[in-house]
Structure 1
C-alpha cells in the first residue's frame, strides 16, 4: 500500500516539476499558441511510434531490460517530443501541449483506471467449482457481462483465479484462458466507457455514456454469443476426450460449490465509481476552470477528486486477506501509469496533424478510409482501427481514428454514428488479436503461467486469434459494417 502511495506521489511530483521547467523561461504559456497541425511534418509522429514499438517489442526481445527500465524509456520518448517541440515553437507552446495532455486527458484516464483496479482488487472470490464445460462457459459469460460494468481489467482480475482453481485438475485447458482473453479482457468491455480505455477516452472527448451501449450492443452480443458457443463446443471436446487426466504441473484444489466473497464492501464502492462517471456525463453546471492548455469542467473535477477518495477508502476498508488472496500489487497499474503518460504526451502532435485533415501529413491515411465522394468507409475504419489496435495499444489507436474522422463528438454521434461505431468496435474487439492489444491480455497470461498453465507464445496466440477471431470479425463486418 505504501509503495503504491509513494508511486502516486512520485508521479504527481514529476508532472509538477516538468510543468515548472517548461514554464520557467521567458516564454509565457498563457500567451503561447499550439501550432496548426498542417505545419507539422510526419517526423513529429516518431516519438509516438517509438513508445508504441517499445511497448510491443522490448518485452519480447529484452524482457529483463524492459521491466527494469520501462519508466525511463517512456520518459525518454516524452522528452524526445517535448524538447524539439519547445525548440521549434517555443517553450510556451510545449507547455500548453504538455499540460493539455496530462491535465485534460491523462489524469482522468489514469484516475479511473486506478480506482477500478484498486476496488476490483479488493474483491476476492474464494472456493472452487469443477471446471466442466457448463461451469467454464458460465464463468466466461459472467466475466463478459461484468467487463462493461467494472472494466476489462477489473473483471479479468476478479475471475481469473476462480477459473484457474476450477480447472486445476484438467490437462487440456489452454483454450479456456485464450477465450477468457477474447471475451472478458476485450469484447465484453464494449458496452460502456467503464468497460475499456478507448471508450472512456471517447467519453472524455464528448461521446455520450449510453451512446456506446446502444450502438455496440448488437455487434457485441453477436460476437460474444458466437464465441461462447465455439468455446463450449471446444471445451466439451477436450472434457470428454478419452484419457483426460490432471495436468502434472498444476496443484489441484478440492472442488466445492461453496463460493465465499471477501471484501464485499468494495461492491458499494464500485457502484459509486459507476455513479460518478454517470454524473459527470449527465450533470452540466456550466462552470469551467481555465488553466493554460486545458479547460476543466466542474463535473470532471468533482468526479476525479471523488474517484481518488474512493480509491483511498478501498485501501482502508478492504481486509488484508482479500488483497493477499488476489495477490494484489501495484506493479501493473504503475506500469500503465508510466507508459500512458508518455503515450498521451507523444500523441499530441499526431492528433494535431489528424485534425488538420487533408491539409495534414496524414492525408493519405484519410484517403484510404474515404470513398471517392469524401464519405468515410465504415468497414475500412473498423479494420484499420482494429489492425492497429492488435499490435499497438487500443486506447491511443482509438484516439488516432477518432480525430482522423474529425474529432467532433456531437457530429460523430449523429451523422457519423456508423463510423464512430466502426472505430469503437475495431478498437475494443480487435484488442484481443494479440497479447499487446490490451493491457489485461498480458496480465491474464502472466497469472495463468504462474499457476502452471502453458500459455501460447506471442505468435502461438496470434495463431489462435487468426483461426478463431478473424473469421468472426469478417462475418461481423458483413453483417454490421
Structure 2
C-alpha cells in the first residue's frame, strides 16, 4: 500500500498543471470575443460556443480522481482527497477568471454555490443526520424470506429518505441478521442494487440526480409518475432473482443462529429514535415548500437572485437537522456507527464537481455549435432525441463517474427546459432519470452509498468483492435486466 510520501501525488499535480497551462493558452484568441458577449440583461453570460473542449479537463479530472485514486493509491486519497478536490476546482476557476474576466467568474461561482451546491448539501446533510438517528434494534434472523422482505422495504424507503438514508438505516440490521450465514456477499450486492440505487428513483429525495432535476424545475412528483413502472419492473426482477439465489445458498448452508438453536432469548424488534421518522416527513414538507410556494421575491447578490422559497426551505432543513441532533440520544447514534466523515467527504468532492461542471454544461447548451457537439449527435437522430441512447449514455457515464453531474449534463443536452422535458419530451427525461439512478449500481463508484455500504460490510467481516469483482456481479445480473428494461420501456 502506498505511503503518504508516494511520488504519485506530486507527479499528478505536475501533469495536471501542465494540462491547465495548455488549456489557458488555447483560449487567448477567443477572450476578446467572449468578453464582448458576457453582458445580457445586465448579468454576465457564458456562451459555450466560444469554449474549447479543454475546459472540461478539470471536470474529468475530479471524476477520474474519485474513480481511480481509491484503487491505485488509497492512502494518498484518504489523506489528500480534500486537497485534490480543491486543486481541480482552482484548476478551473483561476484560468477561467484569467481568460474571461473576474466578473463572469464571480457570477458563475455565486450562481452555482447559492442556487445549486448549498441546497444540494443542505438536503443531503438533513437526510444523513435524520436517518442516522433511527436505529432498528432487536432480534433479527436472516432467512431468505426475511432478507427479501427487508430488501423490498429498503427499496421503498429509498425514495422517501434517500438512498443514503435508507442504506445507512438498514445495512447494519441486515448484516446482523445474517451474521450466522456463510454466504453473505450476494445479500450486500443486491442491497446496493436495490436500496442504494434503484429504489431512489421515485422522488427528488431519493437520489441526488433527481434532486438536481427538481432544482432545475422538474415537478416533485414527476419521477413518481413516470419512473414507477420501470422501477417496479426492475426491482421485481431483482427481488425474484435474489430470493431464488438466497434460498439456494441457504439450503446448502443455513448456518446456526443462536435464536434458532435456542441459545439466546428472542428480543422484540423495536425502533430507537422514532422521532426522526417524523422529522423525515418534515424534510419532505420543507422540500415540497420550495417547489410549490413562489412569492416572487428573494435576495440578489451580484446578479444572482436566491428565491425566498429556497432560503426558507434551506433554513427549515437546517433546523430539522438541529432538532434531530438534539432529540436523538448519543448512544443510539453511536450504536448506529454515526459519524460526520461521509457527509464531509461528499461536501468536499461535490464542491469541486459543481464548479468544474460549469464549462461542460455551457458547451453542451451550445448544442452542435459547441465543442462537444458529437455527444449531442450521438443521442439524437437528426435532431430528434433517442430515449434508448439517452438511457444508456447517461447510465454508462453514471456507472463510472458520478450520476448527479451526469444527469445534469444530459438534462442540458436534451435542451435543459424542464417544462418541455416533462411534457413533449417526457420519455427522454424518463430515460435520463432512469439511466442515472439505475446504473449508478453498476460499479462501487456510481453512487455515494455504494462505497459506504461496502465499507460497513467489510467492517462486519464480509469479504466484499474487488472493484472488478463487483462489476462481475453487476454485469452478470443487473446489466442484462437493464437491457430488458430498455426493450419494455424505451423502444
Query: Do both proteins adopt the same fold according to a TM-score greater than 0.5, normalized to the shorter chain?
Result: yes
Of 213, 218, 225, the residue aligned with 1:202 is: 213
Aligned partners of 1:197 and 1:395 also within 8 Å: yes
Q: Write the mapping of 1:361-376 to structure 2, written as runs, cut at 5 A.
A: 361-372=371-382, 374-376=383-385
Of 404, 409, 414, the residue aligned with 1:395 is: 404
Q: Write the mapping of 1:320-469 to structure 2, written as runs, cut at 5 A.
A: 320-372=330-382, 374-469=383-478
* Corresponding residue number in structure 1 for 2:110: 99
Q: CA RMSD in A?
A: 1.6
- Which secondary structure state, in structure 2, belongs to the residue aligned with residue 347 of structure 1? helix
How big is the shift at 1:388?
Answer: 0.3
Deviation per CA, 1:428-447: give whole Å up to 9, x if none.
00000000000000000000
Q: Write the mapping of 1:177-188 to structure 2, written as runs, cut at 5 A.
A: 177-188=188-199
Deviation per CA, 1:143-186: give whole Å up to 9, x if none.
00000000000000000011011000000111000000000000
Distance in structure 2 (CA, Å) of the matches to 1:77 and 1:268: 40
Distance in structure 1 (CA, Å) of the matches to 2:83 and 2:312: 32
Deviation per CA, 1:342-384: give whole Å up to 9, x if none.
0000001111111111111111110011113x10000000000
Distance in structure 1 (CA, Å) of the matches to 2:207 and 2:265: 33
Distance in structure 1 (CA, Å) of the matches to 2:378 and 2:111: 30
2:135 aligned with 1:124: yes
How big is the shift at 1:281?
Answer: 1.1
Aligned partners of 2:97 and 2:105 also within 8 Å: yes
Aligned partners of 1:168 and 1:246 also within 8 Å: no
For structure 2, the 5+ residue unaligned runs are: 1-37, 258-262
Aligned partners of 2:43 and 2:303 also within 8 Å: no
How big is the shift at 1:80?
Answer: 0.3
Aligned partners of 1:77 and 1:346 also within 8 Å: yes
How big is the shift at 1:291?
Answer: 2.1
Distance in structure 2 (CA, Å) of the matches to 1:95 and 1:159: 42
* Corresponding residue number in structure 2 for 1:219: 230
Aligned partners of 2:156 and 2:199 also within 8 Å: yes
* Corresponding residue number in structure 2 for 1:315: 325
Alignment length, in residue pairs? 447
Distance in structure 2 (CA, Å) of the matches to 1:139 and 1:35: 48
How big is the shift at 1:244?
Answer: 4.5
The range that moved more, 291-300 or 118-127, is 291-300
Of 66, 86, 92, the residue aligned with 1:55 is: 66
Deviation per CA, 1:226-267: give whole Å up to 9, x if none.
1000000000000001x54469xxxxx958361121111111
Deviation per CA, 1:11-68: give whole Å up to 9, x if none.
xxxxxxxxxxxxxxxxx99966233110101000000000000000000111111011
Distance in structure 2 (CA, Å) of the matches to 1:306 and 1:377: 40
2:278 aligned with 1:260: no
In structure 2, relative to structure 1, the CA distance for the partners of 1:178 and 1:478 (3 Å cut) is same
* Corresponding residue number in structure 1 for 2:18: none
| TM-score normalized with structure 2 length | 0.89
Aligned partners of 2:217 and 2:418 also within 8 Å: yes
Of 119, 122, 144, the residue aligned with 1:108 is: 119
* Corresponding residue number in structure 2 for 1:299: 309
Distance in structure 2 (CA, Å) of the matches to 1:201 and 1:293: 21
| TM-score normalized with structure 1 length | 0.91
- Which secondary structure state, in structure 1, belongs to the residue aligned with residue 415 of structure 2? coil
Distance in structure 2 (CA, Å) of the matches to 1:461 and 1:257: 35
For structure 1, the 5+ residue unaligned runs are: 1-27, 248-252
* Corresponding residue number in structure 2 for 1:4: none
Aligned partners of 1:171 and 1:246 also within 8 Å: no
- Which secondary structure state, in structure 1, belongs to the residue aligned with residue 300 of structure 2? strand
- Which secondary structure state, in structure 1, belongs to the residue aligned with residue 271 of structure 2? strand
Aligned partners of 1:169 and 1:245 also within 8 Å: yes
Task: Give the 4+ runs in structure 1 shifted more than 6 A.
Answer: 28-32
Distance in structure 2 (CA, Å) of the matches to 1:223 and 1:119: 28
Q: Write the mapping of 1:32-111 to structure 2, written as runs, cut at 5 A.
A: 33-111=44-122
In structure 2, relative to structure 1, the CA distance for the partners of 1:275 and 1:371 (3 Å cut) is same
Distance in structure 2 (CA, Å) of the matches to 1:293 and 1:142: 45
Distance in structure 2 (CA, Å) of the matches to 1:355 and 1:386: 20
